[in-house]
Amino acid sequence: MLETSSTAAIGLHGLVKSYRDTPVIPGLDAELRGGEFTVILGPSGCGKSTLLNCIAGLERLSAGRITIGGREVQEEEPKNRRLAMVFQNYALYPHMTVAENIGYALKVAGVKKPERAARVAEAARIVELGDYLNRRPGQLSGGQRQRVAIARAVVREPQVLLYDEPLSNLDAKLRHDMRVELAGLHRRIGATSVFVTHDQVEAMTLADRIMVLNKGKIEQFDTPEAIYHRPASTFVAGFIGSPAMNLIDVTGEGGMLRFANGTALAAHPHQGPAILGIRPEQVVPSPEGVPAQVTYAEDLGAYAVLTLRLPDGTALRMTTALGARNALSGDLRVSLNAEALHLFDPLTGMALSGSDTHSRTKKVQHDHLPS
């Protein structure tokens, strides 16, 4: 049987990683809970792989400490950290069978044949490749090959499984199937998992908690639900959700958020300049709302994305059911769902307290907007 410890939390303490004098991770503290599926999410070049490689031991820290299961590991060799890694470019040995590929590391480590066979069979069962043990990689689909790569990691009985964009080379349909499989796999083995991706859909669907990384710093580390509904900054707000949240410069004045030209956009008690965030699905047609002109429409099958131009020239995106779309061509009026307004500080980009969906009660009526 494979033995995984589901309790190995990962502690990152004052972690600094610089290349020459350039800090890629300027100082990071976080606790990744044991047994959880943590996704590290951020744009290309923000330091995701660097952070994962630091945890794996493939990169030396410039400063700070890493604990796995309470044990300091930053001075330990990767092979002594009881973790295994799955990369985007997994190389399988083409001349070996699935079983031989999965068991290769055990063979190198001198694990005896009967134990090896049992562990390989168990790992193959976990990734649902039990019937394919005698095939060669050339006889497998892309998704099956990726599962062999995962089994090769799982067979080592790691406390921690690290994934670096393992699905990025797969086509869209297969990526979806593999997401479902990975979620199931995580439930079956229960190892602490850290999954790096730039794909917010992967993050939202796989993660227990998402660490949003921007230039080597944590913007927010929370559940997908909190990240979506209570983004801590304009960076998070703009990165999560498709189409992206609208971010609009406004000024709060007399109980209304207004454009520079004075047009009132939504009722809100905030005073002074702010960035207003509103998701496209929270912009709704309303006879009492702000006048808007449809400048662009994309039909996506289940729904349409409309780009609107507001009176001061600001562009605003909204989504609408495809059936309702024809009624919304040309000129219309829209209002913003008062419960879904987010306000951010225009200087720091950080969320202003009390501006999120959940902490505000429905005390403002948005259908009496003067325009």
Ligand X SMILES: Nc1ncnc2c1ncn2[C@@H]1O[C@H](COP(=O)(O)OP(=O)(O)O)[C@@H](O)[C@H]1O
- Per CB under 6 A, the list member of 35, 41, 48, 194 interacting with ligand X is 48
Assess 19 for contact with ligand X (CB under 6 A): yes
State in angstroms the smallest separation of the CB of 197 from Mg ion: 9
Is the Cβ–Cβ distance between 236 and 247 less than 8 Å? no
Structure tokens at 195: 């999954």
Assess 60 for contact with ligand X (CB under 6 A): no
> Which of ligand X, Mg ion, none is residue 19 near (CB under 5 to 8 Å by kind)?
ligand X
Assess 44 for contact with ligand X (CB under 6 A): yes
Assess 47 for contact with ligand X (CB under 6 A): yes
> Which of Mg ion, ligand X, none is residue 50 near (CB under 5 to 8 Å by kind)?
ligand X
CB nearer to ligand X: give 90 or 132. Answer: 90
Is the Cβ–Cβ distance between 343 and 274 less than 8 Å? yes
Assess 192 for contact with ligand X (CB under 6 A): no
Distances (CA, A) of 319 to 242, 279, 328, 357: 10, 9, 11, 19
CB nearer to Mg ion: give 18 or 88. Answer: 88
State in angstroms the smallest separation of the CB of 219 from ligand X: 13
Assess 14 for contact with ligand X (CB under 6 A): no
State in angstroms the smallest separation of the CB of 78 from ligand X: 16
Stretch that binds ligand X, among 3-11, 48-56, 134-142, 220-228 (CB under 6 A): 48-56
The interface mask with Mg ion, positions 27-66, x = CB under 5 A, is ----------------------x-----------------
Kindly report the backbone phi and psi dihedral angles of residue 148, in degrees, each rounded to the nearest multiple of 5, phi listed first. Answer: -60, -45
Question: Long-range pairs for 131-136 at CB < 8 Å and ≥24 separation?
Answer: 132/98, 133/97, 133/98, 133/99, 134/97, 134/98, 134/99, 135/97, 135/98, 136/94, 136/95, 136/96, 136/97, 136/98
Cis peptide before 243 (omega within 30 of 0): yes
Distances (CA, A) of 136 to 106, 154, 343: 19, 19, 55
Assess 45 for contact with ligand X (CB under 6 A): yes
Is the Cβ–Cβ distance between 292 and 360 less than 8 Å? no
> Which of Mg ion, ligand X, none is residue 167 near (CB under 5 to 8 Å by kind)?
none
Stretch that binds ligand X, among 47-55, 96-104, 311-319, 334-342 (CB under 6 A): 47-55
Cα 300 from chain centre = 23
- Per CB under 6 A, the list member of 46, 61, 148, 276 interacting with ligand X is 46
Is the Cβ–Cβ distance between 113 and 97 less than 8 Å? no
- Per CB under 6 A, the list member of 50, 220, 319, 320 interacting with ligand X is 50
State in angstroms the smallest separation of the CB of 117 from Mg ion: 35
Pairing mode, strands 71-72 and 217-222: unpaired
* 245 Cβ contact partners less than 8 Å away, ≥ 6 residues apart: 231, 237, 238, 277, 278, 279, 280, 342
Q: Which residues bind Mg ion (CB under 5 A)?
A: 49
Q: Which residues bind ligand X (CB under 6 A)?
A: 19, 24, 42, 44-50
